[in-house]
Amino acid sequence: MKIKRLMAGGLSALLAGTTLLVAGGFANPGLGDYVTTSGSQLTSPMIVVGSDAQVSDVIGAADIGVAIAGYATTAGACTSTSTVGVSGGADVASSSKFLYFGSELNRAKSTLTISDLPTILAQGTATVDWSGGPYTYDHYIELGTRTTTFGTSGGDYDDPVSHVDIGSSFSTPLYNLTIVFNKVLNLSHADVQGGEMTLFGVDYTIGTSSRSSATATVNKLELLGGSGSTTVDEGETAEVSVGGVMHDITVDLVEGATTGRITVDGKGKSVTEGVTYTISGDQGSIDVYVKDVMYTAKESGISKMEVVLGSSKVTLQDSQKVKVGTSNTNIDGTYVDIIGDDSGVSKIVISVAAADSTNDDIKAGSYFTDPIFGSFKVAYNGLNPALDSADRDTITIDNSGTTGATLSMTDYRGNEKLMTFAFTATGTWQVDLNASSTRTYVIAEGQPVRENDYVILAPEQRSDFGHLFQLSSISSLGSTTATLSLTDVFSGDVKTVNMATPDYYNATFYIDGQTYNTRNLTAGNEMVFTWGTGAGLGVLNIDAGSKFTIWPTIRGKNGEYVALVDRVILDNTSAYTPWITDTWVEMDTQTKYVFNFTADGANVTLELPTGDLNLSWWNNTVANTSRLYANGVNQSVAEGMVHLNVTVGLLDYNITSESGGCTGYVNLRAIQLPEKYIEGTDNPTGIAVLVLEELDNTTTDRGAIVIGVNADSNSYAALDTPQFTNGYDSATQTTDASITEYVTVPYGTYLKYDSDNQGVITIKYPNEQAISTVAFGADPSFSTTSTGGAYEAVVKIDQPVAKFDTEVSTSTLASDLILIGGPCVNDLVKTLMADDGITCDNFYNTYKTGVIKEYTNAFESGQTALVVAGWTAADTRNLAAKVMKGTLDYSA
């Protein structure tokens, strides 16, 4: 199980400047009554000291501030994890191996045995008269390679559903029923025929048509099952209940050793031992198997017949379908394989699939009954978490009017944000990675960031510490007061960075304990940011260290990572031919990284969302080619402009490079997503939202979802059909022709694409990889247990709550007060105590060392004031310590 990290803002220690992490519940409950929060902000109380207060008063106020901080919390819900239990059957998953969505049924557990289903798969013994016994046998259910999937099951459902794909071909069965004899059983022997067996929980008699043979197609086991045998004397009538219906059976005559005549429900029939008959009497049709005819000469005793009433015949013949009934009706979707020879049968395998393609699935909440023995079901509970589970994180990509596309997501700190990420101006045919016509997103390390632009800072790809910031201000560069401000787009927190010596144009700063560097470009109010191993400020160029991060990611609520994608220019060339179109496109002429490889072994590592891409160059002796290596694979690029498709993880990338052939250089120009992820030519730079799944249980790479944005025929920003790097089930249209639904395999991310108008995409990302629950049993049922609960997250106190008495207006008071110091040093306390006749002059005579007292409706404001006043400053500090421990009423 994954442990999700919960992070919350620090608490500012009042008047001390110390960052605290004080959990609610460690401070006193009475004092907590003064603390009021709204959302993620502390709104009350106000701590007030006199303007002439001594240091001890201030320290006492700081102590109370620390205690109050413990109550500055907001309620939240932990991500819950649900576990599905099975009763009345056996889960095909094991305690160590789950059945993940899209996985084959036998991936977690290949075989069900007696330990899984002790009754249905109990070891049996054939009750036969043949010598050499006992003849024991074991049962197994061998799980097949069918999978859980998502779709309409070939049109069986109007809208796609999660279901088990049974299939209707016995060559790829849902399961195999296997019977293994511990000693070969000669089915041809007369002493075996008429014997009894219990197969998969159903009692049977071995029929006289059973055969063991060296010729495979003759191997056959005839099974006759019913209500149990009944012995009836000649001339007598017995009543037998079958399925709740009473039947009369009379043995009219026993003619000889194997023949006679019976009447069932008024219908007479001549019969022979070992044969099954269907007799239609006044109670309807019923099968009767004549198990034994016991003839006795009239003068020496009474003859008898042993019959099995209501018998159902099952015929298992090698290389054929299973047959049932006296008419030997085939069960479609089944196949029998019997291993044996003249000496007997050692193994029987029965493959089971659906009878036809109309009923070849098990949707969530339903089951498939075994068509041969009918003693067990295969039930499907669906996915956990369910596709509509509230525990899934919702990511929405939508349009904003006609000009933009929006992204709504929640980061893993719990902050939800709706932002415009793509913009197209009226009359244009191309979208830009912009929040507006003037504010762009910078999505590569070391690229210039203008004031009011957005930039993603992350110490490494797929980090817990990725942030989307707006460079909200750049001030006084070159002076000792030079600063820049970064506003966190999700939380609203502001990070102020002070420029450093000697020139006050650059700085090294820290966020979440991670190191970043920033430097001003000569172009004016433009900054660049670098991070990672070896990163620094540089002198003439920006030094990004050992790697260059391209498209840094932000971690979502449930552990997914989201990146904004656009073509990244890797050199300072003003124009070149992009890979997706033959037209020349003017590029930004601002300073970029220059990746000009002119020496053998020159290399650069691009840190991409799905992994690192190391590009290195070696000159070549072959005319007009260069050896450009991508993660060690020689690309053998030809002279001139070349567009290379390279794969890192499961995602493909396109690198544009310019080679001088054997003349001694390679210039890297740009990197972007290939055309296969982006529809049309109205998005030549490859603008998209990239959602990376977490590592699943089967691969070492992350699945990804790519949602591109284009300018449609009206020059509106329109969403592309989503693309997937991993498998998915399935691109299934719903009854609404504009809606297509997908579920990724194997992680189980759900996606709905509504192509109407400019399009909207909703992604439901699970808090854990989705698990399918499939069970076999007589009557399997499911129960779900959820774990999780509530928590109190600390609230970041970023606004002053401590004031001097001279700064408080009692006429506009909107919060409770905690007043520190007596009437001699705190004018607000002086005013309140005056109503009690207490002044600075007589305070000592009344309280000696001091008082802790609550005043309701203080200053007729409706607010409460808690006075903590000692005769000396030291007394006040001691009283503050009492308040921290819970004392709100004290005098001495």
Report the alpha-carbon distance of residue 590 to residue 282 in Å, rounded.
98
Report the alpha-carbon distance of residue 532 to residue 545 in Å, rounded.
6
C-beta of residue 421 within 8 angstroms of C-beta of residue 407: yes
Show the tokens assigned to 777.
């049993």
Could you list the beta-strand ranges (E) of 755-816.
760-765, 771-777, 781-794, 802-804
> Side chain identity at 885, as an amino acid letter?
K
Show the tokens assigned to 346.
């050692």
One-character DSSP codes across 599-640: STTEEEEEEETTEEEEEEEE--SSTTEEEEEETTEE--EESE
How would you class 530 by CB atoms within 10 Å of its CB: exposed for 0-12, middle for 13-18, buried for 19 or more?
Answer: buried
CA-angle at 458, arms to 453 and 461, nearest 5°? 125
Alpha helices in 385-487 (DSSP H): none
Contacts of 62 (CB under 8 A, 6+ apart): 13, 14, 15, 16
pTM: 0.74
User: What are the backbone dihedrals phi and psi of residue 534, each rounded to the nearest 5 degrees, phi first?
Assistant: 80, 0
670: number of Cβ within 10 Å: 22
Candidates 146, 175, 178, 148; CA nearest to 162 is 148
pLDDT at residue 429, rounded to an integer: 66
Helices (H) and strands (E) in the chain, counts: 5, 74
Q: To which residue do tokens 């808690």 refer?
A: 866
Report the alpha-carbon distance of residue 156 to residue 164 in Å, rounded.
13
**Averaged pLDDT, groups of 10, the chain, 892 residues long:** 30 31 43 74 84 87 84 64 80 86 90 96 92 91 94 90 94 97 93 91 88 84 80 94 85 94 96 87 87 86 88 89 88 96 95 94 94 94 91 92 89 93 76 88 91 95 93 93 95 92 88 89 80 69 72 96 92 44 33 63 88 85 76 82 88 86 76 83 79 86 92 79 82 86 93 91 94 93 71 69 90 89 93 92 89 92 92 90 89 85
Using a CB cutoff of 8 Å and minimum separation of 24, what contacts does 509-513 make? 511/457, 511/465, 511/467, 512/464, 512/465, 512/467
Show the tokens assigned to 136.
């024991």
pLDDT at residue 699, rounded to an integer: 74
Show the 3-state SS of 528-583: EEEECCCCECCCCCCECCCCEEECCCEEECCCCEEEEECCEECCCCCEECCCCCCC
Report the alpha-carbon distance of residue 728 to residue 233 in Å, rounded.
67
User: What are the backbone dihedrals phi and psi of residue 59, each rounded to the nearest 5 degrees, phi first?
Assistant: -65, -40
pLDDT at residue 430, rounded to an integer: 77
C-beta of residue 689 within 8 angstroms of C-beta of residue 397: yes
Report the alpha-carbon distance of residue 470 to residue 263 in Å, rounded.
94
Report the alpha-carbon distance of residue 37 to residue 394 in Å, rounded.
27
The DSSP bridge partners found for residue 691 are: 562, 705
Show the tokens assigned to 366.
């339903």
C-beta of residue 768 within 8 angstroms of C-beta of residue 101: no
In sign, the C-alpha dihedral spanning 234, 237, 241, 242 is positive
Give me the count of residues in the chain.
892
252: number of Cβ within 10 Å: 17
Show the tokens assigned to 850.
């001091």
Candidates 675, 718, 723; CA nearest to 401 is 718
Report the alpha-carbon distance of residue 111 to residue 531 in Å, rounded.
52
Helix (H) or strand (E) holding 31: helix 29-32
Q: Is the peptide bond before 173 cis (omega within 30 degrees of 0)?
A: no
Q: To which residue do tokens 């009475």 refer?
A: 30
Report the alpha-carbon distance of residue 11 to residue 625 in Å, rounded.
61
Report the alpha-carbon distance of residue 47 to residue 802 in Å, rounded.
5
Angstrom distances, CA of residue 469 to CA of 174, 408, 472 = 52, 16, 8
Q: Is the peptide bond before 766 cis (omega within 30 degrees of 0)?
A: no
CA-angle at 287, arms to 282 and 293, nearest 5°? 110
Could you list the beta-strand ranges (E) of 631-703.
633-634, 637-638, 640-648, 651-659, 666-672, 688-692
CA-angle at 437, arms to 433 and 442, nearest 5°? 35
Helix (H) or strand (E) holding 864: strand 863-870
> Side chain identity at 463, as an amino acid letter?
S
Report the alpha-carbon distance of residue 243 to residue 232 in Å, rounded.
20
